Amino acid sequence: MKHTRSRRLFLYLAAIFVLISVGTKDTLADPPSAIGVVQKAAGAVIILRQEETLSAKIGLEIYQNDTLRTGPDGSIGVAFNDDTLLSLGPESVLVIDEYVFAPGQGKYSLVVRMLKGTAAYLSGLISKLAPESARFKTPTASVGIRGTKFVARVEGDL
């Protein structure tokens, strides 16, 4: 009898542990995933990530909400996970506001904000699979990207 009671208590506690573990698993945030990688960096180029300033170099991973900033002699080329290619020329500032590439879930989004400088863009799979999900914003306009390539220049001071 005592053995049965101990066994029930053990199973009861085990069940509670499993329920707590499952509930906690859903509430813990997954660490952010890289959305792209630097393929070219020349001159003065930095990546602003939260409170951190990183020197851009080939192979550096890029994350959502990163700000890419080039100096007077700087340029950077980034390849995103969906094969989108983005290059920035000297004196440029661009923020990656949103990036979602989850084909298995049918979720796609690319939103970048060009604050200053020049950018060359060659669309990848997001623009091809969900054209309405890719946007390129500037201080004076917003462009929907529909599977294309273009160059943009934004003048002004920050």
Q: Are residues 96 and 135 in the same domain?
A: yes
Examine the domain organization and report whether 132 and 71 are in the same domain: yes
Range of 2's domain? 1-30
Same domain, 22 and 48: no
**How many distinct structural domains can be found in the chain?**
2
Same domain for 150 and 96: yes
* β-pair type (85-88, 107-122): antiparallel
pLDDT score at 60:
98
How confident is the model over 6-30, as pLDDT tens digits?
666 555 555 555 555 555 444 456 6
- The pLDDT of residue 69: 98
Same-domain pairing of 149 and 102: yes
pLDDT in tens, 39-66: 999 999 999 999 999 999 999 999 999 9
Asked if residue 121 lies in contact with residue 86, where contact means CB atoms within 8 angstroms, the answer is yes
pTM: 0.77
Question: Alpha carbon of 35 to those of 19, 57, 74, 110: distances in Å?
Answer: 33, 16, 22, 10
Pair 11, 53 in one domain: no
Please check whether residues 85 and 128 belong to one and the same domain.
yes
- According to DSSP, residue 133 is labeled G
For residues 80 and 106, membership in a common domain is answered with yes
Residues 62 and 94 in one domain: yes
Q: How much is the CA Rg of the chain, to the nearest whole Å? A: 23
Say whether both 106 and 125 belong to one domain: yes
Are 19 and 64 members of one domain? no
Same domain assignment for residues 21 and 42:
no
| Closest-CA residue to 65 (of 85, 44, 106, 36) | 36
> Which sign, positive or negative, has the C-alpha torsion 21, 26, 28, 30?
positive
The backbone torsions φ and ψ at residue 35, rounded to the nearest 5 degrees and listed phi first, read -110, -10
